[in-house]
Structure 1
C-alpha cells in the first residue's frame, strides 16, 4: 500500500461557476506545484475538459481521475469517478441526453469554456450545466456501475445541494461506499448521527472553483496503485 495526497473535487472553466483562469493547464500546473499526487476535475454535468486534463496530467506525472459532479433530479450533487476517460465521456453523453436543454446565459452564469491541452478555447458549451438532470439520486449507484464508475455523494454536510440538505436523510437502501464531507472536524459527529457512514470512506476535497482554492497535500488515501483504477478500488469496498 502507498499513501497518496489528493484533491478529488476541482472545477475547471467549463463549470459555469468556475473561474476562466481554471484552465486544464493551470489546474494541473497548480496541483504539481502544490505537491499533490492525485486530482480529479469534476465539472458540473459534463466531462468535456477531461481529455485535456488527462493528457496534461500524464505529461506532468500526476494522476488524474476522470470525474464529474452530477446534479440529480432532486438537485443533490454527486461526485462520479471513472476508471477510464472513455467511460467518463460516455457518461457525459448520457447525462446530456437525460437533461433538459436550457441555454446558458454567460452574462448571468459565466462562460462554459472547452479547452485543449494547450489551453486554447475550442468551444463553449451552450447548454447550461448548472441545471438538474433527469437522473434520480436513487438510481445513480447502479447507473454508474454500467459505466465502471463510483458514486460519492458530494459535501454531504453542506446546507444546499447535498443529500442531507435536500433529502434530509441517507436512504436506508444506500449502497455507496464513500462520501465527501466539507470539513474533517465533522466526521465523528456525522458518523454518530448516521451509522451508515461508519462503513464509508470519507473524502475531504477543496471543491475548488478558483486556482487558489486547490488544496495542499493535507488529505491522504492508502492505495495499492496511484492510478484511477487503484484509487477507485480503494474506495469501492466498505470499511
Structure 2
C-alpha cells in the first residue's frame, strides 16, 4: 500500500490527495510536521517539505509537481477520458503552466503565507519560528488573493475548466490552494462570481470530501468551508 506523508493544511499535500483520489489511489496518510525536520523524513526528502509519496515497492517520490507527473506517467493511461493530463502536447503545456502558477506563484504570494502564519506557527517552537503571526504577511496575502481570484474568474469565464475543455491537474492544484485559504476564511468570494462557481464545481467532486472533513485542533474552519452550496 502506498503511503503519503502530508500535512492536512499543506496545499501541496492537498493537491496530491485530490490527484490520487481522482486516479483511484487511496494511500495511507501519515501526518508530517515538516518544521520538526525529522531525520527519517529528511532522508526521504532532503528538501524537508511535504508531500512525499512512498510506493508499495518502496519507491520514494518527493514533491507535489513531481508526484503528480509520476502518477500520470504510471497510472494516467489507464484512466482513458478521465486522465488528468491532455493527450495534446500544447494542451499539456498550459496545464503545466497553471500547475506551476498555483504551486509556485500562488503559494509564494498567498497560501504559503497564510498557512504558515495562521496554522504552522501555532505549533512550531519559538526557536523554529513559532509564535504570533506576522500580520504584515497576512495582510499582503489577503491583498494578493484578490488578484489571483480575478485570474481564476477570467480563466473559468473563458474556458470550460481552467486549462481548457476538461478538468485537469491545473484545476486540482488551484482548488487545493484555494481550499486552504478558504478554511482560514480569507477568500473574498463575493468579488468574483465566476471563480466561486468554478470552485463550487471542483468542491462538489467526491475527491474533495476528505479535504472538507479535515480539521485543525483549536482552529475551526470558516462557516461555509464544507458547504457545497456556499
TM-score by length of 2: 0.32
* Greater helix content: 2
TM-score by length of 1: 0.31
| RCO higher in structure (CA 8 A, sep ≥6) | 1
* Greater strand content: 1
